[in-house]
Structure 1
């Protein structure tokens, strides 16, 4: 671990020297001096930026130091929670980092600002294959931040052999030791891959089949998690979890008993990208922040700390980048799993998915049992008050 930290610090220093003029380039479009003393509100996934832990670079503090712009930084644990908070108007943000399908949805609902790429000269560092993607085909609303795939992380001391299928998450042998995603799209995606169903299907029957599969799994699941997966897997509290490859590398660094595999049925590939939501209060500073994140030294610090595949060519070209030959992040053609992107779903399918997910989380069957429980409680209350009233009248008749 210390070897990795020293290599990161060395690489940051070297690249910083070569990139020291980056803000000067941006300043041709943005007068940084006028933004000094202002603030930006950044809303990002949990544990999704180099934050100074274990002597890594604190990206936000470095931005504040170089620009004089204060960063107010808060986190979310799923695309859906992020979307709901912004949709409700409960808070204003200048930067968000959603996944591809959510970006597509937010563009469709006019929730994102177009980005002025004249203010982002470091966009040249983005690898061409991560431009012109389906969710932003004209490259108007988003800038790639990280690339990843979903797989299985498992404890080699608790799991027999090397799993190669999503089906192990249904194995009764591991009852109470399985962690499942606590967000609908990823959870349904795993069931759909296992069943051979298109993850972007609009068929009600297909979604109900996936729901039934998740319902079958529920007795085996210890808990539905997002960020909690780190403590549980690193601490040996669970044997198997579905999670993002980059995070699994980080977990394995903290617990050498952990291993990772891409299941044979296929998996989700995703591109998380930086966006500016409608209602932002400091768009120039937001674009300056995006350009900063794309700078070679900053992108390297994030790539080393987060362990995700990078879309930044400047990082991949750096010989000191410790993951540049990592087969999990950059598998060769022979070992690349079958992948599929999530796409935005139409409103009816979204409502169906949400309803099925709510049913699963409430009871694992349907909400009828909840209604029956409430009705039963109400009947008991009514009977109790009738009983008290009758008793009271009987007492009064005795006097």
Structure 2
């Protein structure tokens, strides 16, 4: 082969490689574009926290498929989000103090939400905006408000139950169901001692640990998702649970009684947040906007029985629902409400206390 011919073929080969490389890049970009336009939204929250009927309505109206994953505790959610570095989910619904924790990490886990793309944001009651955990609501939008209360069977519990401290009474041995939630249970011990549920003093936390050791003999069941079931079945006779779960308990056994703890109730404001690498951001905004529609939000709260934070939903609510003691509580209870906050480095001690308590 002549040198001249070899040179020509070499140039042609280089040109061909360049064309194929360009085509490959174009194909890759095309795939990326197609992926970002995928009609999917990935949701991560508690089981049954967005009703199936509402999800089906959203899918029918938008053509966007909802992939629903659930967690049992806020801590489990945080661990999974950290493991995926904010890339697996599009919308997460979680508790207020978790928004505070994630918001402190400088956009590493969650991203600011563009309210301009969510017209129904106007329906959110201003009472629940601009809270301690996210001033200005940069990262979060309120979804519902939950309240933690005591429910018991008066046929089996003869003690006059007034508050959290009564859960330590020896007569309740082997009869209690508690939430499988470290902050809830350790918070009860701190409340009994007269301390903040957000205590960080190691000595006071050690005292709470000792109190839990005394409580353990009374606990029969830990259940974060369905604590009411053991009350209905009669497996337990008294328990601590969220209002929606208390409502379900009373529907299963109308004889059960609800107590608002005299020390003050724990309230939790659950919020929409968007992971920093949400793969379907536009679909996430559409999903949040859909759930903030007044009629849709009423359908949600009627189903899950948490307090609505949506002003537009109120006009659709029945008097029966608004008078449900398990869901809507008196204003004076809000005035002495307890809210969980980030406890920083003390989290390690909380985790250790919880681990030892569960293994007793």
Matches within 5 A, 1:207-286: 207-286=205-284
Q: Deviations over 1:342-397 (max 9, x none)?
A: 11111x2111111121122223xxxxxxxxxxxxxxxxxxxxxxxxxxxxxxxxxx
How far the C-alpha of 1:89 sits from its partner, in A, is 1.9
Unaligned runs of 5+ in 1: 1-33, 52-57, 364-399
| Alignment partner of 1:95 out of 85, 91, 106 | 91
Distance 1:299 1:218, change over 3 A: same
CA distance in 1, matches of 2:59, 2:358: 42
| Alignment partner of 2:79 out of 84, 93, 100 | 84
2:174 match: 176
Contact kept, 8 Å, 1:46 with 1:75, in 2: the verdict is yes
Distance 1:121 1:157, change over 3 A: same
CA distance in 2, matches of 1:99, 1:170: 27
Decide which moves more: 352-361 or 300-309. 352-361
1:362 to 2:351 alignment: no
Distance 1:336 1:129, change over 3 A: closer
Secondary structure of the structure 2 residue equivalent to 1:323 = helix
| Alignment partner of 1:292 out of 290, 293, 296 | 290
Matches within 5 A, 1:117-132: 117-132=115-130
CA distance in 2, matches of 1:337, 1:234: 31
Contact kept, 8 Å, 1:144 with 1:273, in 2: the verdict is yes
How far the C-alpha of 1:334 sits from its partner, in A, is 4.6
How far the C-alpha of 1:321 sits from its partner, in A, is 6.0
Task: Calculate the TM-score normalised by the size of structure 2.
Answer: 0.85
Secondary structure of the structure 1 residue equivalent to 2:94 = coil
How far the C-alpha of 1:50 sits from its partner, in A, is 2.1
Distance 1:337 1:241, change over 3 A: farther
Contact kept, 8 Å, 1:267 with 1:337, in 2: the verdict is no
CA distance in 1, matches of 2:160, 2:209: 27
How far the C-alpha of 1:35 sits from its partner, in A, is 8.6
Matches within 5 A, 1:345-360: 345-346=343-344, 348-360=345-357
How far the C-alpha of 1:97 sits from its partner, in A, is 0.7
CA distance in 2, matches of 1:161, 1:172: 10
Task: Calculate the TM-score normalised by the size of structure 1.
Answer: 0.77
1:38 to 2:34 alignment: no
CA distance in 2, matches of 1:74, 1:331: 30
Contact kept, 8 Å, 1:149 with 1:270, in 2: the verdict is yes
2:18 match: none
How far the C-alpha of 1:106 sits from its partner, in A, is 0.9
Secondary structure of the structure 1 residue equivalent to 2:43 = strand
Unaligned runs of 5+ in 2: 1-34
CA RMSD of aligned residues (A): 2.0
